[in-house]
Structure 1
Amino acid sequence: MKIQKISTQALIALKDALSHIYWRKKDLRQFLELTIENSLIVSTINWEENVKYESISQLIDRMNARPDIYQNDLLKLLQETSNFQDFSHLKYWDKKGDITEKAKESVKKLRLQTKGYFDSLNELNIAAEKRAENIEKVKQTISFSEKLNEQKEKFFNIAMETSPQKRGYELEKLLNELFHLFDLLPKASFKIVGEQIDGSFTFQNIDYLLEAKWQKSLVNAADLYAFGGKISGKLKNTLGLFISLDGFSSECTETKSQTTNSMILMDGQDLMTVLDGRIRLDDLIFIKRRHASDTGEIYYKTLGVI
C-alpha cells in the first residue's frame, strides 16, 4: 500500500511536540527508542552536545530523508505523540505549570496537522495497542530516576552530618533504601551474639553480608579480616560486600589471605557512580564479583563507567 507523504507542517509540529512532552533528553530518547522499530538511528544523534530541539530536528530530518526505511516509524511517532495525554511526569520540574501547558498545546497542534493520516494504516494498529505499555515503561523509568536522585540528595545531606554515630546510622538507612530500589532484598542492620552486622541482601540467589564504614582514615586489612570472620561463620556460599566511603589502604587491596576471598570491596566513588545513574547497583556488584572470581582481586575500580 502506498503511504501518503507526510507534510512539512506535520513534521514541524512533530518536532515541536517531541521537544516539549519530556523535560529530560534521556527520557525523550527512551520514548523514541520504545516507539520506533528501527531505533538504532536514535543513537546516531549527539544528544549530549545538542540542545533537545536540535537533536529532535536532526532525527526527524534524517528519517524523513529515507522514507524507504523510516516512513512507518515516522507515522508511529506522529500517532504516538499526537495521542499523548499523560503529562504528570512534568510536575517534577514544572513549578509554575507553564512547561505542562506548552506540552499540551504542542500536542494539540500536532493532532490538527495529523488528522486523517491514519485512516488507511491498519498495519499501525499494533502501535496503538502497545501505547499504554510503552508509556508505562517510560513512566517507570522516570520514577526510578527521581527516586535515585532523592537518594543522592540524602547522601549529600548525610555527608554534612558532624556526628559520626548519626552519620553511620543514616548511611545504613540509605543503603537499605538503595538496595530496595534495585530489588536486592535487603535486611536492616541486626545483631548476632556479640556481632554487629550492618545488613544483608540477596543477589542472583546468593546471600551477601554487608559492612559499611564512613571514617576519616582508610579501612585497613584488620577490618577485612574481622568481616571475613563473620562471613565464614555463615552458610558456605555466603559472600560479603564491604563498603568504605573513604576507601581502603593498600594492604587491603594487596592481601592474599583466604579470609578475604569471599568478599568484594566498594568505595565512595563506586557509590556515586550508582547514585549518578552511570551504572546500576546490581550490575556493579556483578562486575566486581566476576572480576574477583576471574582474577582473585577483591577491589575492582569501575571509574569512567557511562
Structure 2
Amino acid sequence: MSFTEKKISVQTLLALKDALTNIFWTKKDLRQFIELTLENPLIVSTIDWTENTKLESVSQIIDRMAKRQDLYQTDLLKLIQETGNFNDFSHLKMWDDAETKIKKAKTAVEKLRNNTKGYFDTIEELKKAEQARATNQAKIKESITYQQRLDELKSKFFEIAINDNHQNRGHQLEKFLNELFTFFDLDPKSSFKITGEQIDGSFTFDNTDYLLEAKWQKKQIDAQELYGFGGKIQGKLKNTLGLYVSLEGYSVESTKTENPSVKAIILMDGSDLMQILEGRIKLTDMLYIKRRHAAQTGEIYYRIVGI
C-alpha cells in the first residue's frame, strides 16, 4: 500500500489542530496562513470565521478535509509540513503574555513534529513536499505587493514631512491617513463639517465607528484639545470612539487626565505611525491593542514597545 493510500492518523490531526490554533493569535493571520498553504483554498471560505473561535474554525476545516482524504490528503500533508516547519514566533511578541503564547506555540509544533516522524521519508513524498513548498513560496511572493504598497505609503509620508507649509501639510496628512486606513480595510471617510464642528474623518474598525482627529504641529497636544475632541464624540451615538493622531505627541497632563470626556479616545503619535509604516505592526493590530489596554486600565495613551 502506498503512502497516499494510508489515512492520516487521528493523533496527527489533533496535533495539527492544536499547532494551528497556537501559532497565530488573530483569526485573520491564521486564515491567511491556511489559504496560502492549501492548493485548494476554497474550503476555507466555507467556515464562519467571524463567530467561530480559532479552535472551532481549525477543527471544522481539518475534520471536513479528513473525511474526504481522497480529495484533500495532499492539502492536509501540506498543512502538516508547513506547520511542522514553523519556527519563527516573533509575531506573537506584540501580544500580552507573549512568553506564554510563544511557549505554547513551540510546544504544539514540536508535538506535531513528533507525531509526523516518518511521514515524508519516501523519495516520492519528499518530492511532493518540495513541490508543495515551491507552490507556497510562489503564493507568498505574490503577496509581496503588500510590502511594496506599504513602502509607497512610507515614501509619501516622508514627502509630507518636508513640506514647510503647515496648513498644506495638515491637508496632506488627512489625505494620507485616508489612504493608510483604506489600505487596512477600515472604510475611512474624508473630513466633513456639521453644525459648529469640523471632523477630520471617521472609520470603522471591528464593528465600531471611530471619529478621527489628526494634528501635525510643533507643540504637543494639551489636555484642552483632547477635551474638545471628547466633546465631539459625546455628541454622537453611545458606542462611538475616537482616535487622536498627533505626530508630535502629547503633554504629560493630557495623557494622565482623568476627565471623563476623554475616556472614549485612544491616542497615536508619530512613533506609532512609523511602526506601522515600517511593517513592524499592522494598523488594525495596533488599534486592537491600544483599545484593549484603555478598556482594561482607563489609560488612553499606551506605547507599544518591543516589536
* Unaligned 5+ runs, structure 2: 4-32, 38-77, 91-112
Counterpart position of 1:186: 188
Give CA-to-partner distance per residue, 1:46-80, whole Å, 9 cap, x none.
Answer: 9xxxxxxxxxxxxxxxx9xx972544774234324
Tell me the amino acid that sits aligned with residue 146 of structure 1.
Q
Counterpart position of 2:80: 37
Is the Cα contact below 8 Å between 1:36 and 1:76 reproduced in 2?
no
Shift of 1:194: 2.8
Structure 2 residue 276 is matched with structure 1 residue 297: no
Q: Counterparts of 2:173 and 2:166 in 1: how far apart (Å)?
A: 10
Give CA-to-partner distance per residue, 1:3-40, whole Å, 9 cap, x none.
Answer: 7xxxxxxxxxxxxxxxxxxxxxxxxxx89x83563334
Instruction: Map 1:148-167 onto structure 2 (within 5 A).
Output: 148-167=150-169
Instruction: Map 1:131-170 onto structure 2 (within 5 A).
Output: 138=140, 141-170=143-172
- The 3-state SS of whatever aligns with 2:304 is coil
Is the Cα contact below 8 Å between 1:180 and 1:186 reproduced in 2?
yes
* Unaligned 5+ runs, structure 1: 4-29, 47-62, 85-130
The structure 2 residue matched to 1:260, chosen from 259, 262, 266, is 262
- The 3-state SS of whatever aligns with 2:249 is coil
Distance 1:69 1:260, change over 3 A: same
Distance 1:256 1:140, change over 3 A: farther
Tell me the amino acid that sits aligned with residue 75 of structure 1.
K
Q: Counterparts of 2:215 and 2:118 in 1: how far apart (Å)?
A: 58
Counterpart position of 2:24: none
| Consecutive aligned runs of 4 or more in structure 1 exceeding 2 Å deviation | 33-42, 69-81, 134-141
Q: Counterparts of 1:139 and 1:255 in 2: how far apart (Å)?
A: 47
Structure 2 residue 130 is matched with structure 1 residue 78: yes
Give CA-to-partner distance per residue, 1:150-183, whole Å, 9 cap, x none.
Answer: 1111111111111101111111111101111111
Give TM-score scaled by structure 1 length: 0.62
- The 3-state SS of whatever aligns with 2:118 is helix
The structure 2 residue matched to 1:288, chosen from 264, 287, 290, is 290
- The 3-state SS of whatever aligns with 2:187 is coil
Give CA-to-partner distance per residue, 1:105-153, whole Å, 9 cap, x none.
Answer: xxxxxxxxxxxxxxxxxxxxxxxxxx5xx57852553121111111111
- The 3-state SS of whatever aligns with 1:37 is helix
The higher radius of gyration belongs to 1
Instruction: Map 1:170-249 onto structure 2 (within 5 A).
Output: 170-249=172-251
Instruction: Map 1:11-160 onto structure 2 (within 5 A).
Output: 34=37, 37-39=80-82, 40-43=84-87, 68-71=118-121, 74-80=126-132, 138=140, 141-160=143-162
Distance 1:45 1:219, change over 3 A: closer
Tell me the amino acid that sits aligned with residue 80 of structure 2.
E
Shift of 1:278: 1.0
Q: Counterparts of 1:37 and 1:153 in 2: how far apart (Å)?
A: 39
Is the Cα contact below 8 Å between 2:81 and 2:129 reproduced in 1?
no
Q: Counterparts of 1:45 and 1:230 in 2: how far apart (Å)?
A: 41
RMSD of aligned residue pairs (Cα, Å): 2.8
Q: Counterparts of 1:260 and 1:238 in 2: how far apart (Å)?
A: 12
Is the Cα contact below 8 Å between 1:213 and 1:245 reproduced in 2?
yes
Tell me the amino acid that sits aligned with residue 287 of structure 2.
I
Distance 1:234 1:45, change over 3 A: closer
Is the Cα contact below 8 Å between 1:36 and 1:77 reproduced in 2?
no
Q: Counterparts of 1:258 and 1:45 in 2: how far apart (Å)?
A: 39
Counterpart position of 2:276: 274
- The 3-state SS of whatever aligns with 1:38 is helix
Give TM-score scaled by structure 2 length: 0.62
Q: Counterparts of 2:139 and 2:182 in 1: how far apart (Å)?
A: 19
Number of residues paired by the alignment? 210
Counterpart position of 1:14: none
